[in-house]
């Protein structure tokens, strides 16, 4: 029997201001990607706090080699689908490649996503035009999640999917960029594939929560791609930070619960799933 999202839980729905409260209170945030209503509903039931309609769908759902071909239409469609499964988790949507090339383009895309059910738009990087886009969006009532470290939309410039911030100069730049996106108005920051010590330093310096993916155990929360947390083979190399929670969880919803519990008790990620 189908249970509507409203019937699935009596937890209080997440809002953007609650993210700052979670950081202040030391409550670790569990985040996963989703692309449809069914998995989103299972995540809601399992107590996942944040759900991201990521441009990762290009690689895990569309079978592409990178996130670059994903369109605004793709994200808008999957946002609308995922939103139908949620009643408590906060829904975020990725601005795909070049959708934030100008502040106006970013606003047009983000408006579509919020109208489809998202509560926040996520964008990668801290170049000048990215900071302009963050300011432009937040001044127009669009909450923003920033994304630093390994930014998949920069894969061509970076020369592949590589850990970022390992030398002193790169680490200092990442710390500066983190402060810059916060000052521009971002309410949340994803740190991807950066050394644990660097992620810990950035997390301690910022007022806004950090969400790690391959960034060690000291971030304010963690995120994994849906297919990775379920141990599904998407045809791409599995990164070091990925863990299959389905084996221990026993079911899809059980895997999500196991993941959320491990994030909150600090057992995931451990050293084996982090970079030094």
Residue 192 annotated in active site: yes
Quick: pLDDT tens for 32-71: 999 999 999 999 999 999 999 999 999 999 999 889 999 9
pTM of the model: 0.93
Are 58 and 64 in contact, with CB atoms under 8 Å apart? yes
CA distance 163 to 197: 13
Are 5 and 84 in contact, with CB atoms under 8 Å apart? yes
Homologous superfamily (CATH) for 5-273 = Phosphoenolpyruvate-binding domains (3.20.20.60)
Cis peptide before 269 (omega within 30 of 0): yes
CA distance 96 to 105: 11
Catalytic pick among 124, 139, 141, 192: 192
Domain positions in the chain:
5-273
**273: nearest Cα among 204, 187, 222, 215:** 215
| Average pLDDT of the chain, as a whole number | 93
Quick: pLDDT tens for 205-240: 999 999 999 999 999 999 999 999 999 987 767 788
**150-160 core/surface letters (b: 16 or more CB in 10 A; e: else):** bbbbebeeeee
Q: Which residues of the chain have pLDDT under 70?
A: 1-10, 159-161, 236
């Amino acid at each position: 029997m189908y249970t509507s999202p409203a019937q699935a839980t009596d937890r209080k729905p997440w809002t953007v201001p609650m993210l700052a409260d979670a950081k202040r209170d030391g409550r670790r945030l569990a985040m996963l990607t989703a692309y449809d209503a069914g998995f989103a509903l299972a995540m809601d039931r399992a107590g996942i706090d944040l759900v991201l309609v990521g441009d990762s769908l290009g690689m895990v759902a569309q079978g592409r080699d990178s996130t670059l071909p994903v369109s605004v239409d793709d994200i808008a469609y999957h946002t609308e689908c995922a939103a139908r499964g949620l009643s408590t988790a906060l829904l975020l949507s990725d601005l795909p490649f070049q959708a934030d090339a100008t502040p106006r383009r970013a606003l047009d895309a983000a408006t579509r996503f919020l109208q489809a059910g998202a509560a926040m738009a996520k964008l990668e990087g801290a170049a000048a035009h990215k900071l302009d886009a963050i300011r432009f969006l937040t001044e127009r009532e669009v909450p923003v999640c920033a994304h630093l470290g390994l930014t998949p939309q920069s894969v061509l410039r970076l020369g592949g999917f590589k850990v970022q911030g390992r030398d002193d100069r790169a680490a200092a730049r990442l710390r500066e960029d983190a402060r810059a996106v916060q000052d521009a108005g971002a309410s949340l920051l994803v740190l991807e594939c950066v050394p644990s010590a660097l992620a810990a330093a950035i997390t301690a310096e910022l007022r806004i929560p950090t969400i790690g993916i391959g960034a060690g155990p000291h971030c304010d929360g963690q995120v994994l791609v849906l297919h990775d947390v379920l141990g599904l083979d998407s045809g791409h190399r599995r990164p070091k930070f990925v863990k299959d929670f389905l084996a221990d969880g026993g079911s899809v919803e059980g895997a999500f619960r196991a993941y959320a519990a491990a994030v909150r008790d600090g057992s995931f990620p451990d050293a084996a799933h982090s970079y030094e």
